[in-house]
Chain A
Amino acid sequence: MKPIATTRSVTGIPTGRLAVWWVIASEIVIFGGLLASYVMHRLGHPEFGDYAANTNTWIGAFNTLVLLSSSLSAVLAHQAATRGEGKQAAKLLAFTMLGGLTFAGVKSVEWTIEISHGYVLSTNAFWSFYYTAAGLHALHVIAGVVLMGIVAVDAAKGKELQRVELVGNYWHFVDIVWIFLFPLLYIAK
């Protein structure tokens, strides 16, 4: 029982897609503020490079690969949804969810190793930024997995297929944030 307002589309852009773009816009400034703060600190503190040397670039690179690849099945799911194949879209979304879960699993192992080496949130400003930025991103990964689960359940029944694209857009945004985080936190040493 949607109101008539929801069914109108004066701009020609579907309402859901428009809203997701606004969500992404507001998220960009949240991550933007955090990363700008980090970059300002990084420029003022050359010693951050030494701290960053203790991050595990290979684990980070693996997670980058996993996350970016998981976007492929999200795109394929969108394709399937436009063809009206809800079941196929749900299956492909499940692959993307698997990628997200792998990312989160690897990250928890990575953090366990770092914490066991004594690098914790309060060790110094670099590690504070590291855990805060990557943690905020990881929350978005988990949220994305949950959202995809909800969308996939509906899509499998052939309902609300337009949402497959929307959750995919959000997932690409989560990817892009990671593309900024990976070099800033792991590579710049």
Chain B
Amino acid sequence: MSHDHAHHEDGFIKKYLWSTDHKIIGFQYLFTGMALALLGGFFAYAFRMQLGFPGKAVPGYGVVSPNEYNALVTNHGTIMIFWVAMPVLIAAFGNFLIPLMIGCDDMVFPRLNRLSYQIFLLSALVLLASFFVPGGAFGGAWTSYPPLSAKGQYNLTPAGSSLWLVAVALEFVAFLMGGINFVTTVMNSRAPGMKWADIPVVIWMIVLASIIFMASVGPLVAGAVMLLFDQQLGTGFFDPNRGGDPILWQHLFWFFGHPEVYVVLLPAVGIVIDVIAVFSRKKVFAYKTVLYTAFATGILSFFVWAHHQFVAGIDPRMANVFTVTTVLISVPIAEMMFVTIATLYGGSITLSTPMLWALAFVAEFLIGGVTGIFLGSSGSDIYFHDTYFVLAHFHYTFVPIAIIGTFAGITFWFPKMFGKMMDEKLGKAHFWATIIPFNFIFIPLFITGSAGDHRRIYDYTKFPDLARPELQNLRMIATIATVAMLAAQVIFLYNFAKSLMSGKKADKNPWRANTLEWTAPSPPPHGNFAVLPSVYRGPYEYSVPGRKSDYWPQDEPPEGKADAREEAAE
């Protein structure tokens, strides 16, 4: 059964803005996320310039005032997590890949899918609107701790702080809808023959991420309502003077906030593992173990949240428990990293652009993971808490996740998404021009953080101990590297646009990969497959001894079995 809609041509709005096609909705998320990434990057540029060259007018922005600085930092973090990492890694890749990789024509609830994007878009618009209200955008950090966030007279952004909350809450609603759709689709709509161990790792990871999100975000949805009431209706949920408790917000926030790290990490790991298998021409090492460790990570992620609150006055005995769970969760994560290395071992490695990104993910995330041990241990965290060491640590996790992992995915699936090949030379230039400055931003910040740089300082010249030239030089290095890394993205945008318009035409399966999306035309039409595929084997049968070709598509019937379908034209 094919979905042939050739008999009526949809107009632009129907086709691209009001579509229920999972691929178009994926692109909507992708392009919205990319646009907001540029904005989040611009914010980073503005406040890094203030830190590197305090008080000087920033080209393209002007002088950064203290209030603007707070708003820029807050919204940089908020945008990069909620409006870049989540929409791109989960929603864009999830929407585009799930039906294609499990061999069906669409999501199970296409209209719910469309609604989820529309609510997401609305949430982004509300966040952008918060910059144009009296008092400006919220500046109380992406964690929005009360009492600062709860009262307009403290945060000086009475309208901005509420719009921020509304935007975040709407974003959660959009992702709950999307998540329910993803999980139900993968559970119920897989191709005939596709058993649980035949599902590609990236799809497993997106599903697990959706479930972790669903199970962790509820308390924060309730918390957001409570905080909104505190701000606007005079309740005192988080006000200690009125019987409330500000620490409660921290629990509600981090009960979600820490699992959220794994919500974005797992899909990135999935992308990386898939890319590494294809470009090593090897079966993924210990596929099932990867899944078990991902389950373990998901479960453990619900028992680590208070490591963000070691200095918030929690019971030291509780701090001990959370130290143990936090250090424990590095075991399954380390296992996943070892799996990628074991998959590489003895493989026929091609250093294509997606493979470079995937390898960089492993190398850079390692630094983020290892520095996390210092922060998960309550003793050392008391010193490091709220310094640039923390900031450098989580950027060494989130940049590999949201930037490096995303580029691995985009460069890998671009041929399938748009039917064109990306330019490899430009791709590699972009890779190096991004990776090198990235390390020059955050390694200096590990050092300034260890020297005592607090995260929330607007101007270090007011602090004689920290205004020393050796520290200021490191801050300048980080700032210049930020500018370089952002400038390098022009190469990507150019490559993206150029390849889209005049790239070499991609055939069905340019990487000679096994998974089902590569059996559909590039780009896949509405309905995806001319004939919906059946599955006969796992997704990673590369270099199987005794076979002429070094890959074995999931939908290729075993030898001797009759195949009613057309042979895939290579």
Chain A positions near chain B (C-beta within 8 angstroms): 3-6, 8-11, 13, 15, 18-19, 22-23, 25-34, 36-37, 40-41, 44-45, 121-122, 124-125, 128-129, 132, 136
Contacts and interface: CB of A to CB of B under 8 A. Distances in A.
B109 A19 contact: yes
Contacts of A33: 218-223, 252, 255
B215 A25 contact: yes
A47 B351 CA distance: 67
* Most chain B CB within a 10 A radius of its CB, from A5, A37, A41, A132: A5
B236 A37 contact: no
Given A3-B106, A8-B189, A136-B225, A125 B242 contact: yes
What class of interface size applies to chain B in its complex with A?
35 or more
Given A4-B106, A37-B219, 5 more contacts: A4-B1, A6-B108, A10-B187, A15-B108, A125-B244
B245 A41 contact: yes
Nearest to B104: A5
B185 interface: yes
B219 A36 contact: yes
Contacts of A122: 233-236
11 contacts: A3-B107, A4-B105, A6-B106, A13-B187, A19-B180, A22-B179, A22-B214, A26-B180, A37-B237, A41-B245, A136-B225
Contacts of A26: 176, 179-180, 214-215, 217-218
B218 A121 contact: no
B243 A41 contact: yes
Contacts of A22: 179-180, 183-184, 214
A18 B188 contact: yes
Contacts of B460: none
Contacts of A40: 245, 248
B52 interface: no
Interface of B: 1, 3, 99, 104-110, 176, 179-181, 183-185, 187-190, 194, 214-223, 225-226, 229, 233-237, 242-245, 248, 252, 255, 527, 532
Given A18-B188, A22-B184, A128-B229, A28 B532 contact: no
Contacts of B527: 3
Contacts of B220: 33
Contact of A125 (B181, B219, B237): B237
A50 B215 CA distance: 34
Contacts of B225: 34, 132, 136
B218 A11 contact: no
A10 B535 CA distance: 13
A22 B242 CA distance: 37
B187 A18 contact: yes
Given A10-B190, A19-B108, A128 B236 contact: yes
B180 A5 contact: no
B221 to A, nearest CB: 5
Nearest to B3: A3
A44 to B, nearest CB: 8
Nearest to B526: A3
Given A4-B105, A6-B108, A11-B188, A29 B235 contact: no
Nearest to A51: B243
* Most chain B CB within a 10 A radius of its CB, from A13, A15, A33, A122: A33
B235 A121 contact: yes
A5 B186 CA distance: 10
Contact of B234 (A4, A5, A44, A121): A121
Nearest to B249: A37
Contact of A5 (B189, B217, B235): B189
Contact of A9 (B188, B233, B252, B255): B188
B105 A30 contact: no
- List of 3 A-B pairs having minimum Cβ-Cβ separation, nearest first: A33-B219, A29-B218, A122-B234
A4 B248 CA distance: 46
Contacts of B236: 122, 124-125, 128
B104 A3 contact: yes
A129 B99 CA distance: 42
A36 B255 CA distance: 12
Nearest to A128: B235
B244 A30 contact: no
A136 B179 CA distance: 22
Nearest to B219: A33
Contacts of A11: 187-188
A177 to B, nearest CB: 12
B435 to A, nearest CB: 38
Given A22-B184, A25-B215, A29-B219, A6 B109 contact: yes
Contacts of B109: 6, 19
Contacts of B183: 22
B184 A18 contact: yes
Contacts of B233: 121-122
Nearest to B186: A10
Nearest to A14: B188
Contact of B229 (A6, A10, A45, A121): A121
B229 A37 contact: no
A18 B237 CA distance: 35
Contacts of B180: 19, 22-23, 26
A128 B227 CA distance: 11
Nearest to B106: A3
A114 B467 CA distance: 59
Contacts of B245: 40-41, 44
A18 to B, nearest CB: 5
Nearest to A12: B188
A82 B142 CA distance: 50
B215 A29 contact: yes
B108 A5 contact: yes
B211 to A, nearest CB: 9
Contacts of A19: 108-109, 180-181, 184
Given A3-B104, A5-B107, A125-B237, A15 B188 contact: yes
* Most chain B CB within a 10 A radius of its CB, from A9, A28, A32, A34: A34
A19 B186 CA distance: 12
Contacts of B176: 26
Contacts of B214: 22, 25-26, 29
B49 to A, nearest CB: 40
* Most chain A CB within a 10 A radius of its CB, from B184, B215, B219, B527: B184
Contacts of A5: 99, 104-108, 185, 189
A29 B214 CA distance: 8
A37 B252 contact: yes
Contacts of B194: 10
